Amino acid sequence: MSEIRLDDKTAVVTGAGRGLGRAYAQALARAGASVVVNDIDADAATNVASDIVTAGGVATAVPGAVGETDTAQMLVDRALERYGRLDVLVTNAGVLRDGVLWKMSDDSFDLVIKTHLRGTFTCSRAAAITMRERGDGGRIIVIGSPAGQFGNFGQTNYAAAKAGIVAFARTWALELARSAITVNAVIPTAWTDMTASIPAYEPLGRLLAAGQPFPESVRRDHALGDPGDCSPLVVFLASDGASGISGQAIGIGGDKLTLYSHPAELVAEFHAGGWSAEQIAEAWPEAFMAAQQASGIELPPLDIDIPNAR
């Protein structure tokens, strides 16, 4: 199996100062890409870029909060100024402001939507304009979440934004196909500060704090491992070998790789002349009830031993 290389390519990764974004930036650099490292935290972005350079890669840090058009254009311009081209965009920047519907403030909703949804839009628009003008194709990799696929209690803003991002990928794949620009959504699962805060994972947190590795069952059934386990998919989708893949939502985490389905009609019934409310009520139990789907992320049981963990 030949090694996948990204030599002579330039990538922009937003939200790359820590966690998953950091893993994506480092993996792209190891594969040979020059990387523009973006993060709202200037020190974090600088540290990641410095680590890449120390390891023999090429990177530059560009701090800034995504969402504004000016920030998106700044990232694209820096890639062109420093490296002469832009081939790959990874829109990873994100923020959480969780709360149930009746307690969520306008500010909490707006910040998450601006960072995730508008940030993905403005950065992808700027990248698409440049890639189309150059005429050599490109790769736009947007980052979704299981919350956007299934919904998640207390995450009105985040789930809506992540669902919208997958819709971006399906729409932009159509619009950019003639320009040889692929657009795909990665749905990562990894052990981060967010997953560590899930009450059901408290025993796993104690296991890892004791220096134990991720159990095989966690890596397989829960698709959980280090952020670095998710970065190979980003490298693959950024490569020439993924030129035939676009408009897809692809999950990765731990030992698991998943291709998500597009929304599809589960049941269809027809009534000549249209339906009355009473006719719907009569048809629903027999034709539709059994096909109803549950909402929310379903976690398998966590059955692990915790030797010497306190």
Instruction: Report whether 128 contacts 172 (CB < 8 A).
Output: yes
Instruction: Report whether 159 contacts 144 (CB < 8 A).
Output: no
59: CB partners within 8 A, 6+ apart? 25, 29, 34, 35, 36, 37, 48, 49, 52, 53
- Give yes or no: 24 in active site: no
- Catalytic option among 24, 158, 201, 260: 158
CA dihedral of residues 61, 65, 71, 72 (deg, nearest 10)? 90
- Letter for the amino acid at 240? D
Angle between helices 19-30 and 231-238 (to 10 degrees): 50
CA dihedral of residues 224, 188, 19, 221 (deg, nearest 10)? 0
Nearest residue to 50 (alpha-carbon basis) of 37, 40, 63: 37
- Letter for the amino acid at 155? Q
The SS3 assignment for 204 reads helix
Bridge partner residues of 252 (DSSP): 188, 257
Nearest residue to 189 (alpha-carbon basis) of 47, 59, 300: 300
Calpha distance 124→137 (Å, rounded): 14
- What amino acid positions are annotated as catalytic residues? 158
